[in-house]
């Protein structure tokens, strides 16, 4: 019986390592390629209310001396409906988050969507997809970890809270 358990544990470990390798390879293929000037580009944040003063930030400023989670999503994206609550949970826990709403309507549409879903993370409106195209985003959701304006890691598709928490911890430990 003990021999079966050891054999099973070895096979399970091999399978997990294979899945990890495949996941990292897919992430590398789908990784956005932010142009050098992208870190300095002013990004207008959708105001929380229609009469609020407009705010802007840059990826450089938002990630200064901290790991920023850049979350590119769409209101129309089915997988994003599962990933956005995870991003909100990370935001609630203190992870700096900046989101980009890809082709999701006007500022009013995005504001209404965020309020309806109970999301409080800031959003930039990429209504025509120009920024996402310039950044090489191929898939939604795309999650990019940035520190001091430099892309350190990215992943696409469905991601769990603990997967993202682990990736953020690794980026913080290594950079």
pLDDT digits over 28-80, tens only?
666 666 666 767 888 889 998 888 888 899 989 999 999 999 999 999 999 99
Residues 6+ apart with CB under 8 A from 153: 27, 144, 145, 167, 170, 171
d(CA 9, CA 73): 37
Q: Look at residue 41 in the predicted model and tell me its pLDDT.
A: 83
Q: Where are the domains of the chain?
A: 1-31, 42-174
Q: Look at residue 104 in the predicted model and tell me its pLDDT.
A: 98
Q: Which CATH number fits domain 42-174: 2.40.50.1020, 3.40.30.10, 3.40.50.300, 3.10.20.70?
A: 3.40.30.10
Q: What's the pTM value of the predicted model, to 2 decimals?
A: 0.84
> What is the pLDDT confidence band of residue 27, given thresholds at 50, 70 and 90?
low
| pLDDT tens for each residue of 91-104 | 999 999 999 999 99
DSSP state, residue 36: G
Q: What is the mean pLDDT of residues 100-121?
A: 97
């Amino acid at each position: 019986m003990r021999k079966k358990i050891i054999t099973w544990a070895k096979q399970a470990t091999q399978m997990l390592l294979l899945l990890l390798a495949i996941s990292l390879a897919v992430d590398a293929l789908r990784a956005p390629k932010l142009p050098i000037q992208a870190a300095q580009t002013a990004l207008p944040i959708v105001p929380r209310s229609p009469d609020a003063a407009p705010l802007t930030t840059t990826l450089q400023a938002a990630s200064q001396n901290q790991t920023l989670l850049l979350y590119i999503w769409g209101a129309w994206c089915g997988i994003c409906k599962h990933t956005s609550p995870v991003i909100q949970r990370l935001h609630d826990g203190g992870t700096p988050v900046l989101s980009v709403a890809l082709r999701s309507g006007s500022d009013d549409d995005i504001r209404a969507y965020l309020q309806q879903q109970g999301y409080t993370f800031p959003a930039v409106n990429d209504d025509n997809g120009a920024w996402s195209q310039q950044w090489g985003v191929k898939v939604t959701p795309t999650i990019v970890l940035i520190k001091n304006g430099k892309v350190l890691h990215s992943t696409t598709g469905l991601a769990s809270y603990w997967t993202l928490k682990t990736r953020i911890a690794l980026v913080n430990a290594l950079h």
